[in-house]
Amino acid sequence: MATLIIAEHNNSELQAATFNTIAAAKELSGETVVLVAGHNCQAVADEAAKAEGVDKVLLAEAEHYAHLLAEDLDKLVVEQAENFTHVLAPATTFGKNIAPRIAALLDVQQISDIIAIESDDTFKRPVYAGNAIATVKSNDGKKVITVRATAFDALSHEGGSASVESIGTTEHGALVDYVGEELTESERPELTSAKVIVSGGRGMGSGENFAMLEQLADKLGAAVGASRAAVDAGFVPNDYQVGQTGKIVAPELYIAVGISGAIQHLAGMKDSKVIVAINKDEEAPIFQVADYGLVADLFKVVPELVESL
């Protein structure tokens, strides 16, 4: 038994969800090995080697791995998978993009977005927008799994002393060429790992009004999120979206402002420890999951809240 984790990184540091995935791997039997594939990414391998719970790091350096494209990494992972019973990736857009390709090449049924490990072959995962939890047993020889980061507490980033071993690389498949990226600039904490999140919905009325939530977020050291309605209305970029089809979050405190609480939004945040809802409609479904609800005009109470913190 041994587990291979496909590291998500930007060639200079690991993405936070990789550490949660390492934590999930520690609940499985056997060694935990992290595969760092990228370009000029020695620093990432060194970072992984220092992480608690990592037994070994495999480093694959090639120019065509620079953007972690699934069509180039899949064959590399499949080659390495020979020595492993489990292959794990974080259930981020990176992991979701690549893991099914690996599973199909290995001819196994992948298990998506697990929230708990019952044993080496049995896992819990949410279905129907989180309205049901399925316990699934895999009868495949190898398990290819994506891990919901918020369901596993990350181990320490320090204290480990794994060895780093360079491995051979695979050819560039030339199916896909990278053109460019447009990343959202933000000084605030990353949405999926933030302890506090302030989210706005259609009730915010405009993108300008999100400045109010940003003030509140800054007071709380929080990240800013949004419902689909707010994204579709163009108030904020797509990657702010919390929900079944956006990001899944589970912070200590989630403040939903002007969000009605559709099933699809709740799927992304109902595992938050404390939920606060601010909405003028007392019938809004968000109040059914809120620990503290305030029925009021957000334009009046949000500035008041900022003032009182």
Partner 1 sequence: MKILVAIKRVIDANVKVRVKADNTGVETANVKMSMNPFCEIAVEEAVRLKEKGVASEVIAVSIGNQQCQESLRTALALGADRAILVKSEDELEPLAVAKVLKTVVEKEQPEMVLLGKQSIDGDNNQTGQMLGALLGWGQGTFASKVEVADGKAQVTREIDGGLQTLSVKLPAIITTDLRLNEPRFASLPNIMKAKRKPLDELAIADLGVDVAPRTETLTVENPPARKEGIKVETVAELVDKLKNEAKVI
Residues 93-122 that bind partner 1 (CB under 8 A): 93-94, 96-105, 107-113, 122
- 10: DSSP letter: -
Is residue 145 within 8 A of residue 88, CB to CB? The reply is: yes
Q: Which of residues 253-272 bind partner 1 (CB under 8 A)?
A: 253, 263-264, 270
Q: Report which DSSP code applies to 189.
A: P
Residue whose tokens read 């995935």: 21
Please, what is the minimum distance in Å from the beta carbon of residue 131 to partner 1? 5
Q: Check residue 13 for interaction with partner 1 (CB under 8 A).
A: no
Determine, following the binding rule CB under 8 A, whether residue 161 of this chain makes contact with partner 1. no
Site for partner 1 in 221-240 (CB under 8 A): 228, 231-232, 237-239
User: Which residues 14-53 are close enough to bind partner 1 by CB under 8 A?
Assistant: none
- Structure tokens belonging to residue 273: 């420890």
Hey, what amino acid is at 218?
D
Binding to partner 1 by residue 205, rule CB under 8 A? no
Number of CB atoms found within 10 A of residue 99's CB? 26
Mark 55-94 with x for binding to partner 1 (rule: CB under 8 A) and - for no binding: ------------x-xxx--x-----------------xxx
Q: Does 209 bind partner 1 (CB under 8 A)?
A: no
Query: Which residue, 13 or 165, has its beta carbon nearer to partner 1?
Result: 13
| CB closer to partner 1, 161 vs 308 | 308
* Parallel, antiparallel or unpaired: strands 116-119 and 122-127: antiparallel
Can you tell me which of 2, 43, 116, 129 binds partner 1, judged by CB under 8 A? 129
Alpha-carbon distances, residue 97 vs 5, 134, 173 (angstroms): 15, 22, 16
In the complex, minimum distance from the CB of residue 153 to partner 1, in angstroms, rounded to a whole number: 17
Give whichever of 56 and 75 is closer to partner 1, judged by the CB atom.
75
- Count of residues interacting with partner 1 (CB under 8 A): 88
**Minimum CB distance to partner 1, residue 19 (Å):** 15
Coil, helix or strand at residue 127:
strand
User: If binding is defined by CB under 8 A, does position 200 make contact with partner 1?
Assistant: no
User: Which residue matches tokens 């069509």?
Assistant: 71
> What is the distance between the alpha carbons of residues 222 and 216, in angstroms, rounded to a whole number?
8
Q: Is the dihedral of CA 11, 13, 16, 20 positive or negative?
A: positive
Q: Which is nearer to partner 1, 161 or 184 (CB)?
A: 184
The reply to whether 215 sits near partner 1 by the rule CB under 8 A is no
Position 1 contacts partner 1 (CB under 8 A): no
Which CA distances in Å does 148 have to 10, 207, 249, 286? 20, 30, 9, 23
Give the Cα-Cα-Cα angle 273, 119, 70 (nearest 5 degrees).
80
Answer for which of 150, 170, 192, 227 binds partner 1 (CB under 8 A) is 192
